Structure 1
Amino acid sequence: MNFEFALPGKIIFGPGKISETGKAAAGLGKKALLVCDPFCVTSGLAGKVLKHLDASNVKALVFSGVVPNPTTASIESGVLEARKGKCDVIIGLGGGSSIDTAKAIAVGASHPEPIWNYAIGKTPVTDKTLPVIAITTTSGTGSHCTCFSVITNPETHQKPGMGSPYILPRIAIVDPELMLSMPRALTAICGFDVFSHGVEAYTSNASNPMSDMFAEKAITLCSQYLPICYKDGKNLEAREMMALADTYAGIAICHAVVSLGHVVAHVIGGHYPDISHGDALFTIYREVLVFNSKSKPMANKHGFISRSMDESSDGIGAAFDKFFADFAFEKKLISKRPDSEKIGRISKETFTYMKGIADLNPVAANEDDVKVILEKSLR
């Protein structure tokens, strides 16, 4: 048995911990760029963070140009703001899109080439990357404790994950009180991302005993508390446990990465940027689980996943159906009615720019397998 394992940066966890933003930033720089979406500004949350920064004598600018499925253009706009403001620390406030954008800006503002060159691995990310603080307001992407930033190129329709240890947030602030206002639809798609992170890290060919420990706990907590959060979003204990599950799952994928489900969902998102990542995942995931359950070496792990969803169901597909029966997902891909040519292109691209991650799947897959998964998922 051989593996390497390292924990992420400092994690500040608990209700009200957003108040520690100023102190955290003061230890890393003198001028911050606060990266968020417009809602964080209009809701007053960005203003609250700015007050904490000011109290610690940290100057700050706000970049509120974050978009869902962050694009190269939106990131480059943030890079210009960071450079113009001579910012030396980047703070991501929000969900995965805001934190991924903050990570990418931290690279772009400190490196000479366009961000896309770093996203696709053409040019390596270096230790010149500006320090990042991640303040997560959702329980879904795990981006606050991963070394990945997902970037969409609208011109090429590609959506890779830029990976580098230098973009791992130095400090993550996880304040479950910020998640109490999440609407049900957002709770569902973010919570499903937590579940799928746990599942894919657990069954990845890159998994190890340490990543398994975090992945198992993430799956267990998600199975116990996601239904509660979905039904009662104001339940602070359930929100805390989902925030913890999200953090555990993020640590797990930072080491074991993800596999086929996420790769296909990323490719879908590249072609249909208006489809949320969690919704794309949910649409295909039952068939991905059934396909992967053929893995004999992973039989015990798939048994654990199935029992976590439902003790009595016969098979992982039935367990999935029963556990998520009361959840409402849009399944927007179905309404797009992708034709055979589009399905073929998605299947092919699964094994191009993200082939290395697809190869971590517990069952070796090819384009024909992905076509079948997509066709069954679209019925």
Structure 2
Amino acid sequence: MFEKKVNIYNVFELRCKTTCYFGVGAIEKMKDISEYLKNNNMKKVIVITDPVAYKVTGAWDVVTKYFKEYGIKYVLYDKVTPNPTVEQIDEATKLGKEFGAKAVLGIGGGSPIDTAKSVAVLLEYDGKTGSELYEGKFVPTKAKPIIAINTTHGTGTEVDRFAVASILEKEYKPAIAYDCIYPLFAIDDPKLMLTLPYKQTLYTSIDALNHITEAATTLSRNPYSILLAKETVRLIATYLPQALSNPNDLNARYWLLYASAIAGISFDNGLLHFTHALEHPLSAVKPDLAHGLGLAMLLPAVVKEIYPSVADILAEVYEPIVPGLKGNPGEAEAIAKGIENWLFNMGVTEKLSDIGFNEGHVDKLTELAMTTPSLGLLLSQAPIKAEREVIKRIYETSLRRM
């Protein structure tokens, strides 16, 4: 495997729309970023994070050291929760406006970085709210500069143009996608993942797996999204078991983080469809549900539905997890069960019925998937027609193990 010939301590620039500093020790690039902020009249920054990650990872010590060295003033918002809400976005935006923030720094996984992206937009639009942004009431074309320090290997949000937030009173969890919310700089340092708990290690990696399953099979799929998908699955199949058995394995963390980043680039190019569109209602109704767990519970059923139309692609992409597939449409049941068995072997043993959903919830979930703002765009990209009966069948199949 070529991975053995890669020096994981060599910090390189993963160039996409974002300049992402990648590798062990990349957090030290905060020195260069702080110098950039100073030289470009961005000496006031709002930092967006959750109550834990920015401290336990060690990222905060490095950030504050270089902020102090370069005279960068900051205000801290550390109330972001998993499945962040528009209320949190509005609260952080108010803090940032009062402070006069010229840039936004997100530290954490998808939730803090997505919140940072949202705040960066609203800082440029007086009188607009998080709800208006996520319900599509206006289309932003500008945002304050965004810096993302990533602490999980799953979302890819540090290198893409997507963000997600929940509108709790409507049980909506829409997504946005705008060019203006690509981070200017991102940091992907595997050292920051060493404190990632077992279940977050598992769930975030499965998030990346879902990103490429969808990006490789949408109507917008392309050779680039499929190529990145194949490599993502290979890396996750190889290194996720290693990271789960030894959380301090820095090499495993490096390659899972790389898989997450290229999965983010894959769906930035190929978009998403069923799994994310159907998971968002789950975690909108149950905000404590981990996004990656929701995706894991849906993935086998989604693959079963779409496999006949994209069998040749998925057989090749999933070879490391479900070997021996020929790409025949009749293998739909086999690949679905193979993926479910792999998930169970990794430690995801829950299905929807285990977390409180039953047949009585299916119609409501189906309606939310079809009516939540932005999810219709994802469903329109599915390789088969996203009819109500198909969506219902995916939810029903996901209630229990196949």
Report what 1:31 is aligned to. 44
Question: Structure 1 pair 198/26, CA: closer, same or farther in 2 (3 Å)?
Answer: same
**Alignment RMSD, CA only?**
1.8
Unaligned stretches of 5+ residues in structure 1:
1-5
Q: Is the 8 A contact 1:275 1:332 kept in 2?
A: no
| 1:271-286 to 2 correspondences below 5 Å | 271-286=285-300
Q: 2:256 aligns with which of 242, 261, 273?
A: 242
Matched, 1:171 2:185: yes
Question: Structure 1 pair 331/323, CA: closer, same or farther in 2 (3 Å)?
Answer: closer
Shift of residue 312 of structure 1? 4.4
Shift of residue 180 of structure 1? 1.2
Q: Deviations over 1:16-44 (max 9, x none)?
A: 11111142143242111111111135535
- State the SS of the aligned residue for 2:52: helix
- State the SS of the aligned residue for 1:80: helix
Report what 1:309 is aligned to. 321
Distance 1:278 1:58 in 2: 35
Report what 2:30 is aligned to. 21
Q: Is the 8 A contact 1:204 1:361 kept in 2?
A: yes
Q: Is the 8 A contact 1:310 1:322 kept in 2?
A: no
Distance 1:211 1:337 in 2: 35
Q: 2:76 aligns with which of 62, 67, 85?
A: 62
In structure 1, give the amino acid aligned to 2:99.
G
| 1:211-230 to 2 correspondences below 5 Å | 211-230=225-244
Q: Deviations over 1:122-147 (max 9, x none)?
A: 201122x1010011010011110110
Q: Which runs of 4+ in 1 moved over 6 A?
A: none
| 1:143-182 to 2 correspondences below 5 Å | 143-182=157-196
Question: Structure 1 pair 24/72, CA: closer, same or farther in 2 (3 Å)?
Answer: same
Report what 2:18 is aligned to. 9
Instruction: Identify which range, 196-205 or 360-369, moves more after superposition.
Output: 360-369
Report what 1:124 is aligned to. 139
Distance 1:229 1:52 in 2: 31
Report what 2:394 is aligned to. 373
Distance 1:350 1:316 in 2: 25
Distance 2:348 2:168 in 1: 25
Report what 1:326 is aligned to. 345
Shift of residue 210 of structure 1? 2.2
Distance 2:79 2:35 in 1: 24
Q: Deviations over 1:225-271 (max 9, x none)?
A: 12211222111111111111111011111121111011000111111
Distance 2:34 2:118 in 1: 18
- State the SS of the aligned residue for 2:76: strand
Distance 2:341 2:279 in 1: 22
In structure 1, give the amino acid aligned to 2:132.
N
TM-score by length of 2: 0.88
In structure 2, give the amino acid aligned to 1:120.
E
Distance 1:60 1:318 in 2: 50
Question: Structure 1 pair 378/250, CA: closer, same or farther in 2 (3 Å)?
Answer: same
Question: Structure 1 pair 330/25, CA: closer, same or farther in 2 (3 Å)?
Answer: farther
- State the SS of the aligned residue for 2:144: coil
Report what 1:3 is aligned to. none
| 1:318-357 to 2 correspondences below 5 Å | 318-329=337-348, 331=350, 333-352=352-371, 353=373, 354-357=375-378
Q: Deviations over 1:286-341 (max 9, x none)?
A: 1111111121xx22111113312132477312321342232223637424433444
Distance 2:272 2:73 in 1: 38
Percent identity over the alignment is 27
Distance 1:348 1:33 in 2: 37
Distance 1:111 1:25 in 2: 25
Distance 2:335 2:30 in 1: 42
Q: Is the 8 A contact 1:8 1:251 kept in 2?
A: no
Report what 2:10 is aligned to. none
Distance 1:170 1:74 in 2: 23
Matched, 1:299 2:311: yes
Q: 2:118 aligns with which of 72, 85, 104?
A: 104
Distance 1:42 1:332 in 2: 33
Q: Deviations over 1:44-76 (max 9, x none)?
A: 542432112222222222111111101011111
Q: 2:384 aligns with which of 359, 363, 374?
A: 363
In structure 2, give the amino acid aligned to 1:328.
G
Question: Structure 1 pair 347/378, CA: closer, same or farther in 2 (3 Å)?
Answer: same
Report what 2:12 is aligned to. none
Shift of residue 345 of structure 1? 1.4
In structure 2, give the amino acid aligned to 1:358.
L
Q: Deviations over 1:326-370 (max 9, x none)?
A: 222363742443344421011122222311111111122212122
- State the SS of the aligned residue for 2:287: coil
